[in-house]
């Protein structure tokens, strides 16, 4: 049921439960463990890593989610450095660079939308729109004080316009369709008429779009799940254990009701809890603790399905890995494709290649309940149209499915309200902290930041309590 912790037995800090062993939960747990607290992690599945889970097949690592990372993912890189003694120090440093391309009329044309000069050369937008790109730096300078990668709710005052409206107003429809929508669709999805412009602004700042030192995206050298597994080595983790509910005890602290894989029920008490699971699950587990405002927050959150398809291929694609983005006008079921040539000791074997497809939002919604083999067949048909002849090289496939928080217009205002409630409850002594992609963003970097944020808030509260007790 559990993995023995390496240090927990010797420390005398608070007893803390972390619910969920994805990147948010693991980052919170490792930070709190390093601070001297007794940490136990509860994971409903048998494996850690959340969306980073996948499977090895024919020598290929078949991702269960989109694998491309940002070139400036500082929190994720710091996480790996902190665990460098466990063999993952070189996992993300450096990333394997990914070139970007735009598919137009069956031809993948290399593009670089990070620098403004590169954005101006992207084919598609009419020439009279291109001078509007000069507005970019001025707008980003205006919004920069509100943009915080760890606290995106601070940009709530900007959350009244969609990405589509914002891009069309300032840069033109061509820039939206061929530059900004393709830039964001593998992260937040392609429903740009509904996505908040804050999502675009946060993404632009994180990736350095228009900055003097933009860093290109990249792939980890080996499967990202290795980082999660390295973090788990130093933690006491109860796998295949569902947390049924969390209740506050009259004498202080919290009681967890647990259910393991054998159907055995148990209870356990803790001084504090980090709830690092999806929004729906968080609302279910913590239902007895929620205020009316918190119930409203979780009720209004929207999650949407995400579908990916990993494909192992015979033969080698020359050059660096490439992310091929398909504009909506291509009318494909595919939003983006990353093509990865194999290399010795990497995610794909030397002499072969692999790719990962992210389906369009509409496809994921339509085929959400459909069998995986049917989903794979349909996406392979769309892939053949985008890359003729690729079907003859397919060795095997793996369909990835997940639910992802949707950052539509209004989401960041809801985050700001929720954050205010959390600060109020913490001031009153509640020691329950939330961490998840719905609070920061839908990437591994965002999940890592969410976990670090929850751990830092808890540590600050315990330090204040200790200082008050000494007065």
What is the tens place of the pLDDT at every residue in 117-169?
999 999 999 999 999 999 999 999 999 999 999 999 999 999 999 999 999 99
User: Is pLDDT of 318 > 90?
Assistant: no
User: Is pLDDT of 437 > 60?
Assistant: yes
Give the number of other CB atoms < 10 A from CB of residue 94: 11
What is the rounded distance in angstroms from the CA atom of residue 418 to the CA atom of residue 433? Answer: 12
Please compute the mean of the pLDDT values over residues 398-425 and round it to a whole number: 97
The mean pLDDT value of the chain amounts to 94
pLDDT at 10: 38
User: Is pLDDT of 225 > 90?
Assistant: yes
User: Is pLDDT of 251 > 70?
Assistant: yes
User: Is pLDDT of 55 > 90?
Assistant: yes
Check residue 178 and report its DSSP letter: I
Residue among 38, 149, 60, 74 nearest 393 (CA):
60
User: Is pLDDT of 201 > 90?
Assistant: yes
Q: What pTM, to 2 d.p., does this model score? A: 0.94
pLDDT band with cut points at 50, 70 and 90 for residue 7: very low
Q: Rg of the chain's alpha carbons, rounded to an integer? A: 22
- The DSSP H or E segment spanning 207 is helix 197-207
pLDDT above 90 covers what percent of the chain? Answer: 91
Q: What is the CB-side half-sphere exposure of residue 251 using CA atoms within 13 A?
A: 3
User: Is pLDDT of 279 > 50?
Assistant: yes
Beta bridge partners of 414: none
Concatenating the DSSP letter of every residue in 64-95 gives SS---B-TT-HHHHHHHHHTGGGTTTTSSSS-
pLDDT band with cut points at 50, 70 and 90 for residue 434: very high
Q: What is the pLDDT of residues 450-465, one digit of tens each?
A: 999 999 999 999 999 8
User: Is pLDDT of 6 > 60?
Assistant: no
pLDDT at 317: 82
On the question of a cis peptide bond just before residue 289, with omega within 30 degrees of 0, the verdict is no
What is the rounded distance in angstroms from the CA atom of residue 112 to the CA atom of residue 119? Answer: 6
pLDDT at 319: 84
Please compute the mean of the pLDDT values over residues 234-246 and round it to a whole number: 96
Two tokens, residue 467:
């200082």
User: Is pLDDT of 193 > 70?
Assistant: yes
pLDDT band with cut points at 50, 70 and 90 for residue 469: low
What is the rounded distance in angstroms from the CA atom of residue 337 to the CA atom of residue 339? Answer: 6
What is the rounded distance in angstroms from the CA atom of residue 151 to the CA atom of residue 330? Answer: 35
User: Is pLDDT of 5 > 60?
Assistant: no
What is the rounded distance in angstroms from the CA atom of residue 24 to the CA atom of residue 50? Answer: 9
pLDDT at 215: 83
């Amino acid at each position: 049921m559990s993995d023995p912790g390496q240090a927990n037995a010797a420390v005398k800090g608070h007893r803390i439960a972390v619910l969920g062993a994805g990147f948010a939960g693991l980052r919170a747990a490792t930070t709190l463990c390093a601070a001297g607290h007794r940490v136990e992690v509860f994971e409903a599945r048998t494996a850690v890593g959340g969306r980073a889970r996948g499977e090895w097949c024919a020598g290929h690592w078949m991702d269960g989610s989109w694998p491309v990372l940002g070139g400036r993912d500082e929190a994720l890189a710091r996480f790996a450095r902190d665990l460098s003694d466990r063999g993952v120090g070189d996992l993300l440093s450096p990333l394997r660079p990914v070139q970007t391309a735009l598919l137009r009329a069956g031809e993948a044309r290399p593009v670089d939308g990070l620098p403004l000069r590169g954005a101006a050369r992207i084919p598609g937008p009419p020439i009279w729109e291109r001078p509007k790109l000069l507005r970019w730096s001025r707008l980003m300078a205006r919004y920069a004080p509100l943009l915080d990668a760890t606290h995106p709710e601070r940009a709530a005052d900007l959350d009244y316009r969609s990405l589509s409206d914002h891009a069309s107003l300032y840069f033109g429809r061509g820039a939206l369709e061929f530059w900004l929508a393709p830039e964001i669709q593998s992260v937040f999805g392609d429903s740009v008429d509904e996505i908040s412009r804050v999502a675009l602004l946060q993404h632009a700042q994180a990736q350095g779009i228009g900055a003097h030192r933009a860093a290109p995206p990249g792939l980890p050298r080996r499967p990202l799940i290795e980082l999660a597994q390295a973090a788990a080595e130093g933690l006491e983790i109860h796998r295949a254990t569902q947390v049924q509910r969390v209740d506050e005890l009259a004498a202080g602290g919290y009681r967890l009701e647990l259910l393991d894989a054998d159907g055995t029920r148990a209870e356990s008490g803790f001084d504090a809890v980090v709830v690092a699971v999806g929004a729906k699950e968080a609302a279910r587990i913590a239902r007895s603790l929620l205020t009316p405002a918190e119930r409203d927050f979780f009720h209004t959150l929207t999650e949407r399905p995400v579908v990916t398809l990993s494909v192992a291929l015979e033969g080698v694609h020359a050059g660096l890995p490439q992310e091929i983005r398909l504009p909506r006008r291509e009318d494909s079921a595919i939003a983006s494709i990353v093509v990865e040539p194999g290399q010795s000791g990497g995610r794909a074997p030397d002499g072969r290649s692999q790719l990962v497809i992210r389906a369009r939002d509409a496809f994921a919604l339509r085929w959400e309940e459909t069998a995986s083999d049917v989903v794979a067949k349909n996406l392979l048909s769309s892939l053949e149209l985008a890359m003729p002849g690729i079907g003859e090289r397919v060795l095997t496939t793996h369909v990835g499915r997940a639910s992802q928080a949707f950052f539509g217009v209004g989401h960041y205002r809801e985050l700001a309200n929720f954050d205010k409630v959390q600060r109020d409850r913490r001031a009153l002594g509640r020691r329950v902290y939330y961490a998840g992609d719905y609070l920061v963003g839908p990437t591994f970097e965002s999940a890592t930041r969410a976990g670090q944020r929850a751990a830092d808030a808890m540590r600050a509260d315990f330090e204040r309590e200790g200082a008050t007790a000494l007065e």
